[in-house]
């Protein structure tokens, strides 16, 4: 039986709010910096594909960070790793304020690598912290809290896209970066003062070799997560925005606004997943919803191949994909915490999000290659294959005792 949380219900709620607020602030800067980089570097003459490749190290270093981050969080505490992530993001924002003559591809990729490390340290720490704040007999509360944290994060990331475009238009590239860096530094100071030390810290110092999980359910869930997030990025990161720009002749603001609204809607559905499902997440649900998700990219690919009008196909298809993907993601985010005990939660979550980052990396590269070779329909068929693999892997996930939520 895992130990219960060391916090009283009142302090648990307060610390959850502090963690969530810190995660929100970070997420807004993460969305804003992506939009700032995309728009500014296009103006500097980068092609859409070259702009996408600037995020390659952002995704690659997410794999390394999650592998090391869970182990680090278990040794020094999740509150400290979350604050380190915020500090690194401030540095990444500051680095991009350099003169244009400094902004070579290698320099920007390095700054984005720093931002990727920061993002995954912050995400791993925030989500693992939720497990430590909930008693082991309150699994339905755990589902609600992690769904709210994850869903609100995605909604705010979409808001960050809007903020980045707005700041770029009103203040310019460097002033926008400076504003974001200053606000995040303030949030870092506040969370450092309000959060207790040692959250998620293991009593015994774990060895680095322990970062690799020996629990079959966690390994299987991590593999499913790899293909789930690969299925999104394999068409969403490069294929979709380039298609909207080159084929449908949408402006950058139209593309940014459309994708922002999609991310916000996806986040709202994700936060509402416990109410929509009306039961605790389990392995069987993860398998069912993964198979349901596979229908969305497949139907879009068939409709495009049959000569349908692209704009309504993509808008309707994206809405369907977003709803189904949000439910899948919320179930996964809950199950990784439910399968973990309190003492090893940081390391298990780090291992799991390493797989998540790996899926995003493969999806990003695959999106560029498939779009170049086979167009958007090729990306959509790649997405379908990845979702089906996630569903098949999920077939072996164990169920949990069901509760109403």
The full 3-state SS of 247-314, as one line of letters, equals CCCCCHHHHHHHHHHHHHHHHHHHHCHHHHHCCCCCHHHHHHHHHHHHHHHHHHHHHHHCCCCHHHHH
- 18-31: average pLDDT: 85
pLDDT, tens digit, 9 for 90 and up, residues 46-75: 775 677 678 788 878 878 887 777 677 767
Number of residues that this document lists for the chain = 405
User: What are 158's two structure tokens?
Assistant: 């979409």
Orientation of helix 239-246 relative to helix 345-394, angle to 10° = 70
Q: What was the pLDDT predicted at 338?
A: 80
Look at the pTM and tell me if it is higher than 0.85: no
* pLDDT reading at 228 higher than 70: yes
Q: What is the mean pLDDT of the chain?
A: 81
* pLDDT reading at 36 higher than 70: yes
Q: What was the pLDDT predicted at 11?
A: 59
Domains of the chain and CATH, by start: 9-394 (1.20.1250.20)
Least confident range of 320-324, 342-346, 388-392: 342-346
pLDDT, tens digit, 9 for 90 and up, residues 354-377: 888 889 889 988 888 898 889 999
């Amino acid at each position: 039986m895992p130990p219960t949380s060391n916090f009283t219900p009142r302090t648990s709620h307060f610390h959850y709010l502090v963690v969530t607020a810190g995660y929100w602030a970070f997420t807004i800067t993460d969305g804003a910096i992506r939009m700032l980089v995309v728009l500014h570097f296009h103006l500097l003459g980068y092609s859409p594909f070259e702009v996408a490749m600037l995020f390659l190290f952002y995704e690659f270093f997410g794999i390394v960070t999650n592998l090391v981050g869970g182990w680090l969080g278990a040794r020094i505490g999740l509150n400290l790793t979350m604050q380190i992530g915020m500090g690194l993001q401030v540095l990444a924002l500051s680095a991009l304020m350099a003169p244009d003559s400094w902004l070579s591809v290698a320099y920007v990729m390095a700054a984005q690598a720093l931002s990727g490390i920061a993002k995954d340290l912050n995400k791993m720490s925030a989500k693992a912290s939720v497990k430590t704040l909930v008693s082991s007999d309150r699994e339905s509360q755990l589902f609600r809290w992690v769904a709210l944290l994850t869903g609100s994060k995605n909604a705010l990331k979409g808001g960050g896209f809007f903020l980045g475009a707005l700041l770029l238009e009103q203040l310019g590239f460097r002033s926008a970066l400076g504003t974001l860096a200053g606000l995040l530094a303030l949030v870092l100071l506040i969370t450092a003062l309000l959060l207790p030390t040692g959250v998620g810290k293991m009593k015994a110092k774990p060895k680095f070799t322990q970062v690799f999980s020996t629990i079959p359910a966690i390994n299987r869930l991590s593999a499913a997560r790899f293909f789930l997030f690969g299925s999104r990025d394999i068409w969403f990161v490069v294929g979709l925005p380039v298609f909207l720009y080159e084929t449908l002749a949408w402006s950058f603001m139209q593309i940014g606004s459309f994708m922002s609204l999609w991310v916000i809607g996806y986040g709202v559905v994700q936060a509402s997943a416990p109410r929509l499902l009306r039961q605790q997440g389990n392995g069987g649900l993860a398998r069912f919803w993964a198979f349901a998700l596979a229908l969305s990219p497949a139907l879009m690919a068939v409709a495009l191949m049959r000569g349908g009008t692209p704009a309504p196909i993509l808008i309707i298809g994206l809405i369907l994909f977003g709803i189904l993907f949000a439910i899948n993601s919320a179930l996964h985010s809950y199950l990784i915490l439910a399968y973990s005990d309190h003492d090893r939660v940081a390391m298990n979550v780090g291992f799991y999000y390493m797989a998540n980052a790996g899926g995003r990396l493969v999806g990003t590269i695959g999106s560029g290659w498939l779009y170049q070779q086979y167009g958007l329909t090729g990306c959509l068929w790649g997405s379908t294959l990845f979702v089906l693999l996630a569903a098949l892997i999920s077939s072996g996930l164990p169920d949990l005792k069901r509760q109403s939520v």
